[in-house]
Structure 1
Amino acid sequence: MIRDFLVFAALLLLVSCSPSSDTKMDESQWADIEAIAADAETVPDPGRMPESRVPTSGPAVGEEFAPFFQRLEAMKAVEREAGETLLSGRGLTLDYDLRSIMLNERVVVQDDEGRLTADALIGRFSVSNTVEFIEAEGRVTLVSSNRTATADHVIYNHHSGFVKLEGRASVAQAGNRLSGERIQLWVRDDRRMICEPNALLEISGDSALELEGVEGGAELDTEIRSDRAVYDEAQGVAELVGNVRVRDPRAAMNCDRVRLFLKDEHEIDWIEAVGGVIIQSDDRRALAGRALYHADEGKFTLEDEPKVKQGLNVMTGDRILFWHENRRLLCEPNARVLLYLDEETKAKFLKDLDE
């Protein structure tokens, strides 16, 4: 059994994925490791080890383990192949009965789905040596495809593809960033994210809202805060619920709920806002029960008792459309406009009537 364990440990401890000219173990190197594993004098009976644990670093490592770990050091140059998981850390403890591993200091885990780094990690493996569960703590960073996630504490279920990030959690993708106290995400077919409480969605660069027909840029970032945010990557829809506050250098909006429909490039296509919608831009203030914004046109459509107030003037109707770029409004049907003239205009108007 000890021989099987040592071979299992050797497979797990492929601890580096840096390129090397000698990327494969030749048969003689494997033969040397197997010979060490079979030598009872070199590797003592695990029954004499406390708690059936084999320490792999620190003062507890005796001289009898030196030949084995010398060979493990030689394996660091072996590249990871498809389907394999590489793990590394300054300290490592492996429990071969429970099929669990503990790593600390400069922890790195690399597999087909991405890379994880942390200060400490506990993992569990199946009988086929595939990762089942990982819990990481301390400056955790996960990088997968074009997505980067960070948190103080992370739990990862490999079987379901479920990841929970807690404590200063954030996920960044294609120039956009979602952050909050806790984020749950699914990295397989479902591809969803749930962030709560205190969700913050930052949309930067070309993805920023074109509220006034101004070219996008880093200085025109848009921030959306809410109690809860749900992002469905498959559908390209993000929904923010509860005390929604949209802030942009060109406008601000408050409402109860917002749905953002994104293009394939993760840029905003159109937005739906419902529930006590208030939009403020320059000297214009709009109120409505529902508002739609189409990014390509830079157009707002206000419905459900809409009102637009500019200065002392107020416009109401069944539906109001307005464009920021050319400051044009269209109200129909049942349009009504209340005009409050300043004193100079009013005096001129009365004078014209007398003439």
Structure 2
Amino acid sequence: MLKRLLLISALCLTGGAAFAQGANVAFGSVQQDSSLPIEVSADNLSVNQSDGTALYTGNVVIGQGEMRLAAPRVLVVYAEGAGQIDRLEATGGVTLVSGEEAAEADRADYNLQDNVVVMIGNVLLTQGGNALSSDRMTVYLKDGTAQMDGRVRSIIQPSSNTEEGEGQ
């Protein structure tokens, strides 16, 4: 949490930061295959047969291919009559990791039919040394891209043209 606060503070205070109302960014080192199995681990599980949901609580970690989603609470909603997962609703502080990139938000909704993850509230995306924050980020898993909306703030680390020790 401290790391997140420091990054957000740096985003707000950096004079060289880029500011925009929306931004398209890459997300994930590979395209996500939503046909891969979903593995869920958690401290607790409650199944509600009447409304077709399953509630995982406590240290929930969901894995699918290269993607990992972690949250304190995840509601799994099944498609009516199909027995297949329609969507996942993660709340309580969510971390989504794909390859070398990670995003944090207050909540995330993963629609498995559309292969889209929508992260809402205090979104922070880190890509190597770069960081972006916004109110909302929509991740399109099929093509490995994302759209950030709301007040977008960016810190972009300049790349070094010389390696340490060269030219001395």
In the superposition, the TM-score normalised over structure 1's length comes to 0.35
The change in CA–CA distance for 1:245 and 1:301 in structure 2 (over 3 A counts) is same
Deviation string 1:228-250 (CA, Å, 9 cap, x unpaired) is 11111221111111111112222
Letter in 1 for 2:134: G
CA RMSD of aligned residues (A): 1.9
C-alpha separation in 2, matches of 1:297 and 1:212: 14
Deviation string 1:182-214 (CA, Å, 9 cap, x unpaired) is xxxxxxxxxxxxxxxxxxxxxxxxxxxxx9452
Write out aligned runs for 1:319-338 (5 A).
319-338=136-155
Q: Does 1:262 align with 2:78?
A: yes
**Residue 252 of structure 1, aligned match among 68, 91, 101:** 68
Deviation string 1:108-136 (CA, Å, 9 cap, x unpaired) is xxxxxxxxxxxxxxxxxxxxxxxxxxxxx
Match of 2:18 in 1: none
Q: Which has the higher strand share?
A: 2
Letter in 1 for 2:77: F
The question of whether the paired residues in 2 share the 8 Å contact of 1:212 and 1:298 is answered with no
Match of 2:120 in 1: 303
Runs of 4+ with >3 A deviation: none
**Residue 33 of structure 2, aligned match among 209, 214, 217:** 214
Match of 1:229 in 2: 45
C-alpha separation in 2, matches of 1:321 and 1:221: 22
C-alpha separation in 1, matches of 2:135 and 2:59: 26
Q: Which has the higher helix share?
A: 1
C-alpha separation in 1, matches of 2:105 and 2:34: 27
C-alpha separation in 2, matches of 1:332 and 1:315: 11
The question of whether the paired residues in 2 share the 8 Å contact of 1:212 and 1:250 is answered with no
Structure number with greater Rg is 1
Q: Which runs of 5+ in 1 are unaligned?
A: 1-210, 346-355
The question of whether the paired residues in 2 share the 8 Å contact of 1:231 and 1:238 is answered with yes
Matched position secondary structure for 1:309: strand
Q: How many residues align?
A: 132
Match of 2:56 in 1: 240
C-alpha separation in 2, matches of 1:333 and 1:310: 19
Letter in 1 for 2:112: A
The change in CA–CA distance for 1:215 and 1:251 in structure 2 (over 3 A counts) is closer
Match of 1:277 in 2: 94
Q: Identity of paired residues, percent?
A: 23
**Residue 292 of structure 1, aligned match among 103, 109, 131:** 109
C-alpha separation in 1, matches of 2:48 and 2:31: 28
